[in-house]
A = this chain, B = another copy of it.
Amino acid sequence: MPTINRYVDISEVERESKKDYIDRHSPFIICDNKAKKGEKFKVKVKVGNEYSHPDDFDHYIAYVQLWDGDRLLGQATFTPGTLGNEKSQVEVDFYIIPTKKLKLSAMSYCTKHGLWESDPVEVEVID
């Protein structure tokens, strides 16, 4: 079974290489903390916050998923080279229409270092 690597706050990690390793593989959810019921709501998923990940043919982020609790909202799949083979941060904006409180989380998959899970993000949904 694939290990699910979970994000840990890198400010509490001492070793620089480990900070980099954790940060560049972790998906981050960037969105408002409130959404309007029945209206389109943007959720950015970004892999790496302070550090960058390679986009090499043998080492790249192959997909990200956006979840609401146990429900998959969307999956974006990439082939190597989308980021011009530069060190960078995979980024994708999903647009969803919420009907009730969101418990968002994201997963990202690196072809060398496996599956990573974001911190959860709660979004209040107001009428």
* A3 within 8 Å of B (CB atoms): yes
Residues from chain B with a CB closer than 8 A to the CB of A55 are 97
CB distance from A95 to the nearest CB of B (A): 4
Q: List residues of chain B with CB within 8 A of the CB of A82.
A: 73-74, 94, 96-97
A109 touches B58 (CB 8 A): no
Task: Return chain B residues, CB-CB under 8 Å to A67.
Answer: 1-2
Q: Does A34 contact B (CB under 8 A)?
A: no
Which residues on the B side are within 8 Å of A74 (C-beta)?
Answer: 76-79, 82, 92
Select which of B4, B91, B96, B111 is within 8 A of A40 by beta carbon: B91
A106 vs chain B, min Cβ distance (A): 9
Asked whether A115 is an interface residue with its Cβ less than 8 Å from the other chain, the reply is yes
User: When A1-B105, A93-B93, A114-B70 are in contact, do A79 and B57 touch as well, CB less than 8 Å?
Assistant: no
Bound-complex Cα distance A2 to B120 (A): 10
Interface residue A83 (Cβ < 8 Å from any Cβ of B): yes
> For residue A96, which residues in chain B have a CB less than 8 angstroms away from its CB?
82-84
Q: Give complex CA distance A74, B60 in Å.
A: 13
Q: Which residues of A contact B (CB under 8 A)?
A: 1-4, 6, 38, 40, 55-58, 62, 67, 69-84, 86, 88, 90-99, 105, 107, 109, 111, 113-115, 117-118, 120
